[in-house]
Structures are given as structure tokens and as C-alpha cells.
Amino acid sequence: MAAGVEPTFFLGEYEHTLDSQRRVAIPAAWRSCSRFVLLPSRDHAVQMMPVETFREMVLDKTRKLSLGNVEDARNLARLGSRAQECVCDKQGRIQISQALAGHAGLKDKVALIGSVSMILLYPPEVWNRMREENGEDACYDVLEKLSREETL
């Protein structure tokens, strides 16, 4: 993160419409960042993070990889080919690629879930089911693990 720049936290949850061009509005509270990287996640959501967060996460590690290592090159290609960089338009919307929308099953509505350092995009019915399965106390379990410095 650049010196003097406040980190952005993505907190709360929102439900927005996904238009016919797969554009979704980013909540105004989250628009201090205008450039994002979108990636598929294992649980069939889309992970969305500021470009700077993505850069911090991967850049130093990728610089240490051997250009001659075929497996490293393939892994980077797998990551890069499925990732999408996007910029908010004047209305604060981003456009989700067809591949990522299909991966998450996004159709006409999107649940945008603040995940502290990133945003997760789910179909609203999927997010609602996950939230109900975990119960109201799940937040306290996470806080307890963080206070003990455990892996989530």
C-alpha cells in the first residue's frame, strides 16, 4: 500500500441488479478503489479485490519464480487466464466477464459481500443459504480465531 494511503475495508452486504451486459454497481462506500481484479473462487463465487491488494499478494512471489520452470509458468497462465481486471465506469459499475459470471452462477441479481480485504460476489440465494447454515454466531467464531491468531 502506498505511503499515506488509508487501507480500504469492505464491510457489509449489498444486493444489486446485474444488467444484460453483466454490469453491477459497486456500493458507494467501496468506491475509494476504482480498479479491481476479479478471480474465480473455489466455492463458485467471484473474488474481487483492489488492484493494489492483488499486486501485494502476487507480485513479490511471481518475481521469485523461475522463468524456465514450466510448472510455474503454467500455474501463472492458469491464474492470469481466469483473472479479469476492471475499472468502475462513471456510474460506479464494473462489468463481469461471461466466464466469471458463469462460474458463480450470476444471473440477474448479485450479492456483494464485504470480506474485509476483498469483496465476494454470489447469487443472492446462495449467499442467503450460506449465511443461514453458518448461523448468527459465525461472526463471533471468526473474531475469536483472529484474536488467537489462528488461520481462518
CATH of the domain at 73: 3.40.1550.20
20 found inside a domain: yes
- Domain containing residue 55: 13-147
pTM for this predicted structure = 0.84
Edge-to-edge strand ranges of the sheet holding 109-114: 13-17, 109-114, 119-122, 46-50, 35-40, 84-87
Q: What is the pLDDT, as a whole number, of residue 1?
A: 42
The count of domains in the chain is: 1
Least Cα distance to 138 among 113, 106, 102, 109 occurs for 113
Q: What angle do CA 111, 112, 117 make, to 5 degrees?
A: 150
Helix intervals (H) in 64-136:
70-82, 98-104, 124-134
8 found inside a domain: no
**Confidence label for 146 from pLDDT (cuts 50, 70 and 90):** confident
Answer yes or no: are the C-beta atoms of 11 and 116 closer than 8 Å: yes
CA–CA dist 130, 128 (Å, integer) = 5
Which residues, including other chains, have CB under 8 Å from residue 44's CB and lie 6 or more apart? 103, 104, 105, 126
Pairing type for strands 35-40 and 119-122 reads unpaired
Higher pLDDT: 3 or 112? It is 112
In the chain, the amino acid numbered 58 is V
Terminal-to-terminal C-alpha distance of the chain: 23
3 found inside a domain: no
Look at the block and give the residue holding cell 473474531. 143
2 found inside a domain: no
4 found inside a domain: no
pLDDT at 150 over 80: no
77 found inside a domain: yes
141 found inside a domain: yes
User: Which DSSP category does 113 fall into?
Assistant: E
6 found inside a domain: no
56-105 pLDDT tens trace: 888 877 878 777 889 888 888 999 999 999 999 999 999 999 999 999 99
